[in-house]
Structure 1
Amino acid sequence: MGRFEHYITVGRDRLRCGYTTGTCAAAAAGGAAELLLTGRLPATVRVDTPAGLPVEAELLEPSAGPGWAACAVRKDGGDDPDVTHGALIFARVEETGRPGVAVDGGEGVGRVTRPGLDQPVGAAAINRVPRQMIRAQVEKAASAAGYGGGLLVTISVPEGPRLAGKTFNPRLGIEGGISILGTSGIVRPMSEAALIDSVRLEIRLQRAAGARDLLVTPGNYGERFSREILGLGLSHWATCSNYIGEALDCAACEGFRTLLLVGHIGKLCKVAAGSMNTHSRVADGRRETLAAHTALAGGERETVAAVFQAVTTDGAVEALDRAGLRAPVMASLAEALGQQLQRRAGAEMETGAIFFSDRYGVLGKTPNADRLAALHPPAARKEGQPDPGPAGT
């Protein structure tokens, strides 16, 4: 079985994509279900990922017994291997007396111990999209075999406990192993030099096309929020990944008049603290920043502690809501964010920002944000032209 051969161009580099632990778990589950229900193990299993790219994964280390079967898929991180690259992701499928397909985690898959994550406390750290992918693969195998009973899928990663120590899982309250992740099913490689080149190229192309006012988002979340929630046009839009400072430098150098940054609070609160590269390997400080602004807004010690101890930024906002402090804390954060952006950009280019979360919507704006947003009106649709709908992943 050959490796996954899908490539993307990042800057001047041609980089090979890989596939996520979620895709591996889904492929292994589909293979194990077929082995259980037909007695045959295919050499490979095809998974149609949410990104629209099919993955043909090789099935390894099969085993079976009365009422159960198992096999594994090896994680392929492509040209951007993370700590799970090369790890074996196992799936065991067994018959049950309950209808439907249940999914759980076994050895090496972490358990959620704190609220605020993708899964509830006590659940295996297998995120929502991977769970959907696993069920889809197993249901497809059951349908093909004419099986109508219940099945339990248990995902395990023997190397998980060791690998988890190299991730943020212990800090997030995920204990005992790694998480099974992936919203697109595909790992897109990220070379820092190439990504920065790509950021600069996007901005220069916008300027060459005559744009004077630039809308910048770190990635897909900001782009979708800008278009679908804020109703902004994307004709003068560029992405910057984690490289906020590089984007500001390039836009100022190219002579843009204004730059509006739209991003998730989890990323932009780092910028408010002066971190212009927001990659988790370079900077975090989210809880420290939010706790500091809570104190500045007059928060009691108990509230500051609750914000500091929150697992996610949404959890911090929830703590602020309990104390009635969301508005002043977000205003304080927005002020600091605006100052940091303007300091980096210099006097020749006006900057502003809007930050949000999926749960709460818009959380804060710099004072000039609405005026800068008005410089990016949505493109007019001709009569009868269909709405383009959400962008692909």
Structure 2
Amino acid sequence: MGLELYRQEGSKKLRCGYTTGTCAALAAQAAARALLLHERPEKATLLTPKGVEVSAPVEELEVGEDFARCAVRKDAGDDIDVTDGILIFAQVRPIPQGIQVDGGKGVGRVTKPGLNQPMGQAAINQVPRQMITQALSQVLEEGERVCGLEAIISIPQGEELAAKTFNPNLGIVGGLSVLGTSGIVEPQSLEALRKSIEVEIRMHRAQGEKQLILTPGNYGEAFIRTYAPLPPWPQVKCANFIGASLDYCAQYGYEKVLLVGHLGKFVKLAGGVMDTHSRLADCRMEILAAHAALAGGEPSLIGQIMEAATTDGALELLQKAGLWEKVRQTLLHKIQYHLERRAAGNFSVGAIIYNNIQGFLGETSQVKGILGLMEEKE
């Protein structure tokens, strides 16, 4: 049974799903009912923190002398989620008192500071732990039992799927995290990605790091590996969330931040665009054309730039016209200006731009100072 909750995304109606934390709590509730109330529940139901009631079928129920175990299948709705359709198990057994929640096979362990749970603990975040605890408490109360309960959450496919998530970067080993703050998955939500970036930035700072390299994605990582002047600072892939990532760096007290990105992304920074997704702002050619005009470009060249399909194509036009050096300098100046405005004096910031054809294309005025190669200009 799918969750009948939808949200509108433009002209599309997208179905919501429920989180791994909701699945774990549902499974724990059903296992507890089987163990303490001697039921064989076909479904489990609970109220999520968002206030939405969720019901899901109970699968693979097994009851032993002193335990019960069952699973709930993850339903991510229309969200693109590697965990969609997997089984999340809870095994419940009585203990003398209290409620304990831990992770078993396929649930990751925290190995670095700065995450939602302490080092050594299962990567079951605070809200899912509260949901599981509340579900078990309600069954204890209904059964009028004076014992406590232990719930072990496991995800058989967790270790395999974790390689496709941010967990390896975060120092979560051995499996997936059990996540969720509302209990509900919003389809195609970018908030989860933004939160993952924040967690990674916070984690590096909690480990004592004060310098950071931000890059939008895999191409940036590949360039960084080949560019000798860059120090071995921690790196975070910030996707299109340049501005939000800089805000997190300020929030967590970084001192130096370098951004490394492709011309096609970072040209937008020269226009003050801090979320570089093309659906929000695809002003690459307009910005390049404006800087070409400032550099003295002929109207015919400006028109060609406006019609160029890629920034690499526009760069070739500028180089043929002998204007690239002037455009490069004004672009880098404006990129630095907008980065400093966003950083608001909280840390030193600079940017390096490249493309996949020529490699290094330039750096803003503060980069050498940040790297300790020269004194920063006042």
TM over 0.5: yes
C-alpha distance in structure 2 between counterparts of 1:338 and 1:265, whole Å: 24
TM-aligned CA distance change 1:55 to 1:363, over 3 Å? farther
RMSD value over aligned CA atoms?
Answer: 4.5
Aligned match of 1:147: 145
TM-aligned CA distance change 1:116 to 1:58, over 3 Å? same
Aligned match of 1:184: 182
Letter aligned with residue 341 of structure 1 = L
Secondary structure in 1 aligned to 2:150?
A: strand
* TM-score computed with the length of structure 2 as normaliser: 0.58
Identity across aligned pairs (percent)? 41
Deviations 1:54-96 (A, max 9, x none): 1111111111112211111000111114111111100011111
Letter aligned with residue 234 of structure 2 = F
Letter aligned with residue 155 of structure 2 = V
Aligned match of 1:93: 92
Deviations 1:292-336 (A, max 9, x none): 9xx99xxxxxxx64x41799989x979x97xxxx44x26x77xxx
* TM-score computed with the length of structure 1 as normaliser: 0.56
- The higher radius of gyration belongs to 2
Letter aligned with residue 308 of structure 1 = P
The answer to whether the 8 A contact 2:200-2:236 is kept is no
TM-aligned CA distance change 1:41 to 1:363, over 3 Å? farther
2:34 corresponds to 1:35: yes
TM-aligned CA distance change 1:341 to 1:130, over 3 Å? same
Aligned match of 1:129: 127
Matches within 5 A, 1:4-153: 4-97=3-96, 99-153=97-151
1:308 alignment partner, one of 222, 234, 242:
234
TM-aligned CA distance change 1:39 to 1:354, over 3 Å? farther
Matches within 5 A, 1:232-381: 275=216, 305=232, 307-308=233-234, 326-327=254-255, 329=256, 341-343=269-271, 346=287, 354=342, 363=346
Gaps of 5+ in 1: 196-217, 223-240, 243-262, 297-303, 357-361, 367-393
Secondary structure in 2 aligned to 1:152?
A: strand
Letter aligned with residue 38 of structure 2 = G
TM-aligned CA distance change 1:111 to 1:8, over 3 Å? same
Gaps of 5+ in 2: 202-212, 239-244, 260-264, 274-282, 292-333, 350-378
C-alpha distance in structure 2 between counterparts of 1:264 and 1:168, whole Å: 12
C-alpha distance in structure 1 between counterparts of 2:236 and 2:13, whole Å: 39
Structure 1 residue 170, shift from structure 2 partner: 2.3
